[in-house]
Structure 1
Amino acid sequence: MGLALGVTFKKDLPTIEAATKRLFDYVEELVEARRAAPKDDFVGMLIKANEDKSQLSDQELLDMIVLAIFGGIDTTRNQLGLAMATFIEHPEQWALLAEQPELGRAAVEEVMRVRPTVTWVTREAVEDFTYNDTPIEKGTTLHLFSQSATSDPRVFDDASFDITAERKPHFGFGGGAHHCLGHFIARGDMTEALKLLSQRLKNPRFNGEVEWLPDSGNTGAIRMPIAFDPA
């Protein structure tokens, strides 16, 4: 399903649609099971809200659960792969994280600043306006390159990768009304993963050719073989 966020969308459409159907089928079974045996959890709260169709329709119920599952896995997985690639390119930072695992949270933020899985965000102009002397008509699709916003050398004196540096917030999770609802879970998962991996994997290095998704949209590694020295 993550291929839907990439630039090869049309080519991958049959795969995307098949994956989407499988996940919706699973969610429909999950909802039926939870209706029969209610639980006081996230899915249970949505099902309860669905009792009032004006509050949450049947389709919205399925859509929200599917998005919760997909959003909590695909981007986080890609971001962890990008984190490992970044640390392999900066071995001294990996060694530092192993020595000071309390830097795990800062490591997540720094990785997302320099190598986020979501490199740009897309918006549509809802009215005519001019930006930097460029006229933009209503209905124009705009791609905003969020990755460069926190690593532009014209703005940052030192934009190099450093997990100990104090940084302004990045835009890896969006912002405002479009801020990622799952950012707490993603941050927590990646923090613990990087802390543990840095303790257990010494001297990580690429062990073969890395295959990447296009460096646009929702990017990440398709295949990234890694060799390491066990701790």
Structure 2
Amino acid sequence: MLTIMLGIPKSEWPTIARLASTIGLALGVTLKQDLHKVEEALAELYEYAEELIKDRQANPGEDFVSRLVLASRDGDSLSDAELRNALVLLIFGGMDTTRNQLGLAMQSFMRNPDQWELLAERPELGSKAVEEVMRINPTVTWVTREAVEDFSYEGLDVPKGTTVHLFTQSAGTDPRAFPEPEMNLLGEHAPHHGFGGGVHHCLGHFVARSDMSEALPLLARRLRNPQINGADEWMPDSGNTGPIRLPISFTKGE
């Protein structure tokens, strides 16, 4: 899906998937040992983005990158550096975190087969399915901030400069905010914080939401009665998480 949006050959997906997955290690707890791999992948992705921008400057098309390039050429929005950074973030977020979230969605729906059947019958619930999965089983398990001034919250003193982790995963099922925290595509719940908030709200949330709201109903119709079939393997349950390997058996649907 991302290759279509970027206007590049579908055969390029293994390259951007590899780079995005490696950069995603920066959000985990093993960053110190993985730092050199992250930096190498980031440098390669910057080069990839620069070549893509140069191509669209010479040969603009109807894709999303061309729209960004043309807007910047007209002085409408982004500097060269901002354009490159935006494209790198789009490739990373649109590939790695979205793919992880789809894997977690399958895990969640296999635990709630009645909701999977409901989604298959009512594909218009695709957008609601995305929000429910991100509420109960998000790929980004926490968001991080730095205190810019001293403050106190419910008796906890937080000095300026303190790194604060906000645990979005547990917040999405906290019974004080969600009296009925179980997945329910027909229920009404308070907004989740899987995409962060404020000035650091995820810029790519529209891309991720659009991708998943189309993918999940389609998968629900085609993969009936999905079940784990074999040994699954997962990233650490912290930072940016998701399946590395998730073999699934199913009955063929539509």
- Quick check: TM above 0.5? yes
- 1:63 alignment partner in structure 2: 85
Aligned length, in residue pairs? 230
**Residues 1:180 and 1:134: Cα distance change in structure 2 (over 3 Å):** same
SS at match of 1:204: strand
| TM-score (structure 2 length as normaliser) | 0.83
Corresponding residue to 2:116 among 73, 94, 97: 94
Deviation, structure 1 residue 206:
0.5
**Residues 1:138 and 1:197: Cα distance change in structure 2 (over 3 Å):** same
The one-letter amino acid paired with 1:121 is V
The one-letter amino acid paired with 2:165 is H
- 2:219 alignment partner in structure 1: 197
Matched, 1:123 2:123: no
> For the residues of structure 1 that align with 2:173 and 2:148, how far apart are their CA atoms?
29
The one-letter amino acid paired with 1:227 is S
Deviation, structure 1 residue 190:
0.5
Summarize deviations over 1:99-149 as a string: whole Å, max 9, x none.
222222111111111001111110001111111111111100000112222
> For the residues of structure 1 that align with 2:227 and 2:211, how far apart are their CA atoms?
22
**Which residues of 2 match residues 1-231 of structure 1 at below 5 A?**
1-39=23-61, 42-48=64-70, 56-231=78-253
Summarize deviations over 1:3-29 as a string: whole Å, max 9, x none.
111111122223222222221121121
> For the residues of structure 1 that align with 2:82 and 2:55, how far apart are their CA atoms?
18
Q: RMSD across aligned C-alpha pairs, in angstroms?
A: 2.0
Residues 140 and 239 in structure 2, CA contact (< 8 A), matched pair in contact too: yes
- 2:15 alignment partner in structure 1: none
**Residues 1:56 and 1:106: Cα distance change in structure 2 (over 3 Å):** closer
**Residues 1:61 and 1:102: Cα distance change in structure 2 (over 3 Å):** closer
SS at match of 1:143: strand
> For the residues of structure 2 that align with 1:159 and 1:151, how far apart are their CA atoms?
5
* Structure 1: runs of 5 or more not aligned: none
The one-letter amino acid paired with 2:213 is T
> For the residues of structure 2 that align with 1:163 and 1:176, how far apart are their CA atoms?
26
Deviation, structure 1 residue 45:
4.8
> For the residues of structure 1 that align with 2:71 and 2:124, how far apart are their CA atoms?
40
Summarize deviations over 1:34-64 as a string: whole Å, max 9, x none.
23234465434544565699x7444333212
Summarize deviations over 1:49-91 as a string: whole Å, max 9, x none.
65699x7444333212111211211111111000000011111
Residues 178 and 190 in structure 2, CA contact (< 8 A), matched pair in contact too: no
Percent of aligned positions that are identical:
61
Residues 138 and 194 in structure 2, CA contact (< 8 A), matched pair in contact too: yes
SS at match of 1:218: coil
Please identify runs of 4+ aligned residues in structure 1 that moved more than 6 A. none
The one-letter amino acid paired with 2:51 is E
> For the residues of structure 2 that align with 1:65 and 1:154, how far apart are their CA atoms?
39
